[in-house]
């Protein structure tokens, strides 16, 4: 049983995983089992070139960033289980016991973060009732989002990035994933606001 499973290895999914991973020294997060489906083939980053993203050198390719982010997560927070080459097909159950079925396996988890792109090819059974037109995308692109309030779709189900209704901008998607992570940390901390910072202070 996972405490949280993140679906998507793009900007918002990896950002969420990094923030959750960095909280491992906090008593309320130290024993949590975190997993992420790192499927990246449909990520918008595959064709991206960055010249305007804070902290990223000009000319950086999105495809490079995808590879580097997976390596960073693995090296910095090896306790987070990466699940590659699996596509989520179905979600059943309710909080705190969901069954997530992929094309290869099934997993149980208390919480789910859906962090894949806003393509209208979205087809995860069990979430289709939450699909609606994307409120900030150009109508001709026919993008979708999941109905949510501040990233929360339903009890135990969160959405991040463009699928949460945000525009396709790296800094926005990253912040969205981090926001979901801090909400989950707060949940684990019995409702007391919590977030994880790295600092050079002793």
**For the chain, percent of residues with pLDDT exceeding 70:** 98
Mean pLDDT score of the chain: 93
In three-state secondary structure terms, 67 is: helix
pLDDT for residue 40: 64
pLDDT for residue 43: 75
Q: What is the DSSP string of 137-202?
A: S-GGG--EEE--BTTEEETTEEE-GGGGT--S-HHHHHHHHHHHHHHHHHHHTTT--------S--
Q: Mean pLDDT check: name the lowest of 50-54, 91-95, 97-101.
A: 50-54
pLDDT for residue 198: 75
Higher pLDDT, 184 or 196: 184
H/E stretch holding 91 = strand 88-94
pLDDT for residue 175: 95
pLDDT for residue 39: 81
Q: What is the pTM of this model?
A: 0.95
Cβ-count burial 43-64 (b if 16+ within 10 Å, e if not): bbbeebebeebeeeeeebebee
Q: Mean pLDDT check: name the lowest of 54-63, 94-103, 109-118, 154-163.
A: 54-63
pLDDT for residue 196: 81
Across 123-144, average pLDDT = 92
Per-residue pLDDT tens digits for 6-55: 999 999 999 999 999 999 999 999 999 999 999 866 677 888 899 998 88
């Amino acid at each position: 049983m996972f405490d949280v499973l993140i679906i998507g290895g793009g900007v918002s999914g990896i950002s969420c995983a990094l923030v959750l991973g960095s909280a491992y020294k906090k008593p309320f997060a130290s024993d949590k089992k975190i997993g992420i489906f790192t499927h990246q083939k449909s990520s918008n980053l595959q064709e991206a070139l960055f010249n305007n993203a804070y902290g990223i050198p000009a000319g950086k390719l999105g495809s490079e960033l995808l590879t580097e982010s997976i390596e960073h997560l693995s090296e910095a927070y090896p306790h987070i289980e990466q699940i590659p080459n699996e596509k989520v097909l179905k979600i059943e159950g309710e909080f705190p016991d969901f069954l997530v079925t992929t094309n290869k396996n099934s997993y149980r988890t208390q919480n789910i973060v859906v962090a894949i792109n806003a393509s209208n090819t979205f087809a995860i059974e069990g979430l289709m009732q939450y699909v609606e037109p994307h409120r900030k995308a150009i109508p001709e692109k026919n993008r979708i989002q999941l109905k949510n309030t501040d990233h929360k779709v339903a009890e135990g189900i969160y959405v991040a990035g463009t699928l949460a209704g945000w525009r396709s901008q790296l800094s926005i998607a990253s912040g969205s994933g981090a926001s979901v992570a801090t909400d989950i940390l707060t949940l684990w901390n019995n409702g007391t606001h919590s977030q994880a910072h790295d600092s050079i202070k002793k």
